[in-house]
């Protein structure tokens, strides 16, 4: 029965909304490659190809030529397929260890075999029907009553015919000759073929033909896959892993260097195809492998379930068929699967998606329905055009960016707001991947996560950074959703994006202010802790001594009174130093401390601090050595530098046991002086040293003779040194002493 179809003008009007999906799987084959000799100490494995040597198996040739198999400890023998035989049977019978297969491998599992799909090479099958133009076959329905030749492993073609209601019993079946001769001679009207292969020969012959693809009916199977058996995998898990990794590495090299591998095949393996034919095959395979979109070898479990559903729908698999044990991932230890969050789109986006999906459904149904009359078709066309105009008006007036891409991610449509946001006109971005907008820095978009989500049929939501035409960076919040046809197959991707740059800037400002507030609160808490604890304790001791003197003065000996006075003097000195540190810190926080850097000779400034602290060091029997070179000049504020030396030397003596040593040294490097105060004391752990210069992280420690400390002096040192545009740090290990270092500029710095 003949079928009417929309006119070419009608088809052209709807051309924007159709997705031309990629064709199905190429049949593989091959005999042992005589060019490779068996390498000593390598494990020999056999790979059964689906067909004769050609570019279809480029990755395995590349893996051999580049030494990837050899590096994996393997010697791989390539076996060509024999005409009329199913190549996968060689693997199940033990004549080969690995094989190249199509999605038909699922039917083998249903027969009781145990295949394991290790990797999917072709994301879309190249298997199509090539029909002679003379036979007037323009649609799958026209095949009824025609002469048809199908090769083995044509399960997706058969599934397509069954789904369209065209039984093989309605066709006149001929044996496939594995060439195009019977099609050229008119002996048959249509043959199964590969999009990457036979069209080249037909074009060379000037033959007029028409392609019928399963994807036209929503059947989009995976193409060439690499497989083995469960029994072989369980016995040789490490070998299988090495073979798989080396093979995928070979495929990556082959797709990056197609002309080189084409020459290799022609000169080493087979001249059955011309070099031009091999290059043609390589070019067509790029759209099927899609290695610029997904990683070579990737298999989506959700899509495999969809393929199983198609087979079940047409009666080629039982309803209770299970994928369990078929995918290589079933045998790997993996982390807990990620539960993808699917956020609801905006109301406007939902309207756009629903209208688009409704349009696809109606258009697909109309193409499969028999059009009863020209008037009815024109009426339906007018209705569709009205809906399209309404949808187009809504999209064009939308205050958010709306972008539509094909399955490879290439732009097919942008609305005016895209131009308003990015500065790019549609003509400048048509056919490009939106990734060209990325800024080349950390911009927050995980492409693998995004593609895994949308290819599984779910919506992806994320925030990332892009770059406008004028070079400005901006932040976008995006919802990217797959657009599906009535059979549930993805045809396009719809992205709805909003410029949230100002929102991100406000969030960043709030974050910075919160961090600053947290820091100030921590410093305030530490400041009051020092006042309440470290200042009160010396006062308690001071008051205790004075009360003792008042109460017991007449009963005390002269030496006891002198000792008490000495203790009072030391307490008063400790209190004075603590108050000086507190007042200095407060003045710094208020910006009241003067800063007047001048050229200073470092050794005398350090010597002045040593003179003040010499008695403390003498009593503790700690040697302090000033090894700063004479005449070494740095630009510094004298009062601040004096305070830094005093604090660091005091700390060094405090935490150095009797008989220890403290050494001062300095050296110049370019426009900077590095000063070192090194001791042979008790040192400190990394946990302690990491918080020394932070008020919120400091904790006072007592010295080796019980000397008190608050840690505030080191905070002052940090403030003073940073005022000079320098830096201060410590190098220390417990039990191995400490080395405090700081830098000063040679030239003066501004206040």
CATH number at residue 672: 3.30.565.10
Under 8 Å between Cβ of 500 and 476: yes
- Residue 341 pLDDT > 70, yes or no? no
What percent of the chain has a predicted confidence (pLDDT) above 90? Answer: 36
- Asked whether residue 181 falls in the same domain as residue 137, the answer is yes
Residue 5 maps to a domain = no
Under 8 Å between Cβ of 102 and 231: no
Q: Six-digit token pair at 147?
A: 């002469």
- Residue 440 pLDDT > 90, yes or no? no
Under 8 Å between Cβ of 464 and 500: no
- Asked whether residue 604 falls in the same domain as residue 723, the answer is yes
Q: Six-digit token pair at 447?
A: 């492409």
Task: Pick the more confident residue, 384 or 742.
Answer: 742
- Residue 145 pLDDT > 50, yes or no? yes
Please write the tens of the pLDDT for every residue from 549-561: 788 777 888 888 8
Average pLDDT of the chain to the nearest whole number? 81
276-289 burial by CB neighbour count: b if 16+ within 10 A, else e? Answer: ebbbbbbebbebbb
- Residue 751 pLDDT > 60, yes or no? no
CATH of the domain at 431: 3.30.450.20
Residue 726's pLDDT band (cuts 50, 70, 90): very high
- Residue 175 pLDDT > 50, yes or no? yes
Q: Six-digit token pair at 620?
A: 């503790």
Q: DSSP letter string over 279-327?
A: HHHHHHHHHHH-TTTS-TB---HHHHHHHHHHHHHTTSS-TT---TTTB
Residue 518 maps to a domain = no
CATH of the domain at 167: 3.40.190.10
Q: What is the mean pLDDT of residues 396-421?
A: 86
Task: Pick the more confident residue, 529 or 508.
Answer: 508
* Sign of the C-alpha dihedral computed for residues 486, 488, 490 and 496 taken in this order: positive
Q: Is 478 left (phi over 0), alpha (psi -120 to 50) or beta?
A: beta
Output the pTM of the full model: 0.43
Please write the tens of the pLDDT for every residue from 151-162: 877 888 888 888
> Alpha-carbon Rg of the chain, whole angstroms?
40
Helix H or strand E segment including 403:
strand 401-405
pLDDT for residue 529: 58
Residue 668's beta-bridge partner residues? 673
d(CA 58, CA 263): 11
- Asked whether residue 303 falls in the same domain as residue 313, the answer is yes
Please write the tens of the pLDDT for every residue from 355-374: 766 666 666 566 666 555 55
pLDDT for residue 206: 92
Residue 12's pLDDT band (cuts 50, 70, 90): very low
Last residue of a domain, one of 555, 589, 623: 589
Q: Is 742 helix (H, G, I), strand (E, B) or coil?
A: strand
- Asked whether residue 137 falls in the same domain as residue 114, the answer is no
- The residues, any chain, with a CB within 8 Å of residue 267's CB and separated by 6 or more, are none
Q: Which domain holds residue 579?
A: 535-589
CA distances from 561 to 86, 505, 546, 551, 567 (A): 111, 67, 11, 12, 10
Under 8 Å between Cβ of 485 and 361: yes
Strands 672-679 and 633-636: unpaired
Residue 210's pLDDT band (cuts 50, 70, 90): confident
Residue 336's pLDDT band (cuts 50, 70, 90): very low
d(CA 218, CA 239): 38
d(CA 251, CA 65): 12
- The residues, any chain, with a CB within 8 Å of residue 533's CB and separated by 6 or more, are none
CA distances from 619 to 55, 68, 576, 622, 658 (A): 88, 73, 20, 8, 9
Residue 169 maps to a domain = yes
Phi (first) and psi of residue 362, to 5 degrees: -65, -45
Q: Six-digit token pair at 66?
A: 């580049």
DSSP E strand boundaries for 406-531: 411-414, 460-467, 473-484, 490-499
Q: What is the mean pLDDT of residues 171-184?
A: 89
- The residues, any chain, with a CB within 8 Å of residue 588's CB and separated by 6 or more, are 716, 719
- Asked whether residue 211 falls in the same domain as residue 235, the answer is no
- Asked whether residue 702 falls in the same domain as residue 656, the answer is yes
- Asked whether residue 120 falls in the same domain as residue 131, the answer is no
- Residue 346 pLDDT > 80, yes or no? no
Task: Pick the more confident residue, 740 or 569.
Answer: 740
Q: Is 27 helix (H, G, I), strand (E, B) or coil?
A: coil
- Residue 338 pLDDT > 50, yes or no? no
Q: What is the mean pLDDT of residues 130-156?
A: 86
Please write the tens of the pLDDT for every residue from 27-82: 333 333 433 444 458 999 999 999 899 999 999 999 999 999 999 999 999 999 98
What percent of the chain has a predicted confidence (pLDDT) above 70? Answer: 76
Structurally, the chain folds into a number of domains equal to 5
Q: DSSP letter string over 527-594?
A: HHHIIIIITHHHHHHHHHHHHHHHHHGGGS-HHHHHHHHHHHHHHHHHHHHHHHHHHHHHHHHTT-S-
Residue 666's pLDDT band (cuts 50, 70, 90): very high
- The residues, any chain, with a CB within 8 Å of residue 295's CB and separated by 6 or more, are 448
Q: Is 6 helix (H, G, I), strand (E, B) or coil?
A: coil
Please write the tens of the pLDDT for every residue from 447-476: 778 888 988 889 998 888 888 888 888 888
Q: What is the mean pLDDT of residues 117-122?
A: 95
Residue 503's pLDDT band (cuts 50, 70, 90): confident
pLDDT for residue 386: 63
Residue 10 maps to a domain = no
Q: What is the mean pLDDT of residues 475-495?
A: 89
Q: What is the mean pLDDT of residues 324-346?
A: 65
Q: Is 739 helix (H, G, I), strand (E, B) or coil?
A: strand
- Asked whether residue 713 falls in the same domain as residue 583, the answer is no
DSSP E strand boundaries for 60-216: 74-79, 98-101, 115-120, 127-132, 147-150, 172-175, 190-194, 209-212
Q: Which of 197-211, 242-256, 411-425, 735-749 holds the top average pLDDT?
A: 242-256
- Asked whether residue 355 falls in the same domain as residue 423, the answer is yes
**Entry field: residues in the chain:** 751
Q: What is the mean pLDDT of residues 385-413?
A: 77
Task: Pick the more confident residue, 375 or 307.
Answer: 307
Residue 385 maps to a domain = yes
pLDDT for residue 619: 84
- Asked whether residue 352 falls in the same domain as residue 474, the answer is yes
- Residue 334 pLDDT > 60, yes or no? no
pLDDT for residue 9: 42
Q: What is the mean pLDDT of residues 326-351?
A: 63
d(CA 713, CA 585): 9
Last residue of a domain, one of 556, 572, 589: 589
Closest CA to 651 of 707, 691, 698, 605: 707
- Asked whether residue 202 falls in the same domain as residue 323, the answer is no
Residue 343's pLDDT band (cuts 50, 70, 90): very low
Residue 632 maps to a domain = yes
d(CA 349, CA 340): 20
pLDDT for residue 661: 94
d(CA 144, CA 281): 31
- Asked whether residue 613 falls in the same domain as residue 559, the answer is no
Closest CA to 580 of 390, 710, 394: 710
Under 8 Å between Cβ of 418 and 401: yes
d(CA 200, CA 203): 5
Residue 530 maps to a domain = no
Residue 492's pLDDT band (cuts 50, 70, 90): very high
Residue 15's pLDDT band (cuts 50, 70, 90): very low
Q: Which of 84-98, 339-353, 695-709 holds the top average pLDDT?
A: 84-98
pLDDT for residue 92: 95
Residue 254 maps to a domain = yes
Q: Six-digit token pair at 693?
A: 């210069």
Last residue of a domain, one of 454, 479, 499: 499
CA distances from 470 to 80, 466, 748 (A): 55, 12, 40
């Amino acid at each position: 029965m003949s079928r009417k179809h929309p006119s070419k003008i009608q088809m052209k009007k709807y051309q924007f909304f159709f997705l031309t999906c990629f064709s199905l799987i190429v049949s593989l084959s091959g005999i042992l490659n005589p060019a490779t000799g068996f390498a000593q100490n390598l494990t020999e494995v056999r790979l059964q190809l689906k067909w004769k040597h050609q570019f279809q198996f480029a990755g395995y040739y590349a893996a051999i030529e580049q030494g990837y198999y050899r590096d994996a400890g393997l010697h791989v023998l390539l076996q060509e397929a024999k005409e009329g035989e199913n190549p996968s049977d060689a693997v199940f019978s033990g004549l080969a260890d690995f094989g190249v297969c199509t999605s038909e491998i699922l039917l083998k599992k249903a027969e009781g075999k145990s295949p394991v799909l290790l990797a999917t090479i072709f994301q879309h099958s190249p298997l199509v029907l090539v029909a002679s133009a003379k036979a007037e076959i323009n649609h799958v329905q026209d095949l009824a009553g025609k002469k048809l030749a199908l090769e083995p492993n044509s399960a997706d073609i058969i599934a397509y015919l069954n789904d369209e209601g065209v039984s093989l019993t309605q066709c006149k079946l001929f044996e496939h000759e594995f060439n195009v001769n019977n099609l050229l001679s008119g002996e048959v009207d249509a043959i199964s073929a590969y999009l990457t292969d036979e069209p080249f020969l037909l074009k060379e012959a000037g033959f007029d033909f028409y392609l019928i693809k399963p994807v036209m009916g929503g059947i989009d199977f995976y193409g060439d896959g690499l497989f083995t058996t469960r029994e072989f995998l369980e016995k040789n898990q490490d070998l299988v892993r090495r073979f798989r990794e080396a093979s995928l590495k070979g495929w990556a090299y082959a797709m990056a260097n197609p002309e080189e591998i084409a020459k290799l095949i022609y000169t080493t393996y087979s001249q059955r195809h011309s070099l031009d034919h091999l290059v043609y095959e390589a070019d067509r395979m790029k759209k099927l492998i899609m290695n610029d979109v997904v990683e070579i070898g990737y298999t989506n479990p959700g899509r495999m379930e969809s393929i199983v559903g198609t087979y079940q729908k047409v009666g080629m698999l039982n309803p209770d068929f299970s994928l369990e044990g078929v995918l290589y991932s079933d045998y790997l230890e993996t982390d807990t699967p990620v539960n993808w969050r699917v956020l609801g789109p905006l109301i406007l986006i939902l309207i756009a998606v629903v209208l688009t999906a409704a349009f696809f459904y109606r258009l697909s149904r109309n193409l499969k329905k028999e059009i009863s009359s020209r008037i009815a078709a024109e009426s339906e066309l007018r209705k569709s055009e009205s809906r399209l105009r309404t949808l187009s008006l809504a999209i064009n007036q939308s205050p958010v960016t709306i972008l539509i891409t094909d399955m490879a991610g290439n732009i097919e449509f942008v609305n005016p707001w895209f131009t308003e946001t990015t500065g790019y006109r549609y003509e400048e971005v048509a056919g490009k991947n939106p990734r060209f907008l990325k800024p080349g820095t950390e911009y927050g978009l995980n492409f693998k996560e995004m593609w895994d989500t949308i290819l599984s049929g779910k919506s992806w939501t994320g925030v990332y950074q892009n770059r406008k035409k004028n070079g400005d960076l901006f932040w976008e919040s995006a919802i990217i959703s797959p657009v599906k046809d009535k059979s549930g197959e993805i045809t396009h991707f719809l992205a709805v994006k909003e410029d949230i740059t100002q929102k991100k800037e406000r969030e960043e400002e709030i974050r910075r202010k919160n961090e600053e507030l947290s820091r100030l609160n921590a410093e305030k808490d530490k400041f009051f802790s020092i006042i309440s604890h470290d200042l009160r304790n010396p006062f308690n001791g001071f008051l205790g001594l004075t009360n003792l003197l008042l109460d017991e003065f007449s009963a005390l000996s002269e030496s006891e009174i002198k000792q008490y006075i000495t203790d009072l003097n030391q307490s008063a000195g400790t209190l004075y130093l603590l108050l000086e540190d507190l007042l200095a810190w407060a003045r710094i926080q208020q910006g009241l401390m003067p800063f007047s850097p001048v050229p200073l000779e470092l050794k005398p400034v350090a010597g002045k601090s040593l003179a003040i602290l010499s008695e403390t060091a003498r009593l503790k029997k700690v040697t302090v050595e000033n090894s700063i070179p004479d005449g070494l000049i740095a630009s510094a504020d004298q009062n601040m530098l004096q305070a830094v030396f005093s604090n660091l030397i005091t700390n060094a003596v405090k935490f150095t046991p009797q008989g220890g040593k403290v050494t001062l040294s300095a050296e110049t490097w370019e426009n900077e002086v590095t000063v070192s105060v090194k001791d042979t004391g008790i040192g400190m752990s990394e946990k302690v040293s990491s918080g020394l210069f932070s008020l919120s992280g400091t904790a006072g420690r007592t010295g080796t003779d019980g000397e008190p400390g608050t840690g505030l002096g080191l905070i002052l040192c940090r403030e003073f040194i940073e005022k000079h545009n320098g830096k201060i740090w410590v190098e220390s290990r417990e039990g191995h002493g400490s080395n405090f270092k700081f830098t000063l500029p040679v030239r003066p710095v501004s206040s």
